[in-house]
Copies of this chain bind each other. A is one copy, B any other.
C-alpha cells in the first residue's frame, strides 16, 4: 500500500513538473516576439505625405497643414512606409547616409529632433555640400552632423531607430532616388544585423570627431 501511494505521488509530481515545463515553453514562445521585417522597393509612386508628417508633429500642426491642397494622391507607398518607420523613433536615431536631399525625410528628422529624440548624422564630405542637400538645414536646426575627410566615399545608406530597428538598402535619401530609381530598403529588427550596424555607426562617429578635421592640411603649403 505504501509502495502504491509513493508511485501515485511520484506520478503526480512528474505530471505537475511536465505541465509546468509546457507552460514555461508556451510563455517563452509568446515572449519571443517576432522581429519586425519589411522590404520596400522604389521608385515609390507619387503620394502626398503631408498628413503623415503633420500627424507626427502634433495636433496643432495637423490642424494647420491638413487637409493639404496638393493634387497628389493619398495613401500607402514605399516613401510613406519609410517615413512611418522613422517617425516611430522615441529615444534615438542614428543616420549614416551618402546623400540626403529629400525634403520630406529632412522634415521628419527635424521633427524627431524637436520631439526630443537624440539624432546623430554621419554623411559623406563631398556630397553634403551639393545643391539641395538637407545637411545644412539639419545643422542649422541643431542636429549633430559629422563627416570624414577620406579619399573613399562614406557610401552607407542606413538608419537605426531606438537602437532596435535597422533601415538599410541601396536608397540614398534623395527625391531622384525615391521617385525615379529602382531601389530597395530593408527594415530589420534581428539583433544579429542591428548590433554590427550600431557598432559600425559608433566606430565612424568616433573617427569623424570634429577635432580630427584638417581645415588647413599641414602638408598643403
Q: Which residues of A contact B (CB under 8 A)?
A: 4-5, 7-8, 10-12, 14-15, 17-19, 21-22, 25, 37, 39, 41, 43, 98, 148, 150-158, 168-171, 176-177, 179-184, 186, 190, 192-193, 196-197, 200, 204
A180: which of B152, B179, B193 is its contact (CB, 8 Å)?
A: B152
Evaluate contact between B11 and A200: CB separation under 8 angstroms: no
A18: which of B10, B14, B182, B184 is its contact (CB, 8 Å)?
A: B14
Q: A11-B15, A22-B21, A197-B39 are in contact. Are A156 and B182 (CB under 8 A)?
A: yes
Q: Closest Cβ of chain B: how far from A181's Cβ, in Å?
A: 4
Q: A18-B22, A180-B152, A182-B204 are in contact. Are A170 and B4 (CB under 8 A)?
A: no
Query: Cβ of A192: which chain B residues have Cβ within 8 Å of it?
Result: 37, 39
Q: Find the B residue at minimum CB distance from A196.
A: B39
A197 to B41: give the CA distance in the assembly, Å.
9
A186 to B193: give the CA distance in the assembly, Å.
8
